[in-house]
Amino acid sequence: MPVIRYLNLILMMGILSITNLAAQQDSLLQLTNASPSHIDTTRLLSDKPLKSPWGAVVRSAIIPGLGQVYTHNYLKGAVAFTLNGFWLARIRRYQQRWSKHHIQADRDRRNDSYWFFGVTYLLTLVDAYVNAYLFKFDEAMQLTWRFPQDDPRTLMIRLNIRL
61-83 per-position pLDDT tens digit: 999 999 999 999 999 999 999 99
Is residue 88 included in any domain, yes or no?
Answer: yes
Contact 94, 6 (CB under 8 A): no
Say what the pTM is.
0.64
Domain count for the chain, please give it: 1
Is residue 148 included in any domain, yes or no?
Answer: no
Contact 132, 53 (CB under 8 A): yes
Is residue 119 included in any domain, yes or no?
Answer: yes
Is residue 45 included in any domain, yes or no?
Answer: no
Is residue 142 included in any domain, yes or no?
Answer: no
Is residue 154 included in any domain, yes or no?
Answer: no
Is residue 149 included in any domain, yes or no?
Answer: no
Domain of residue 28, residue span: 2-33+51-135
Which among 99, 117, 98, 116 has a CA at the least distance from the CA of 107? 98
pLDDT score for 137: 72
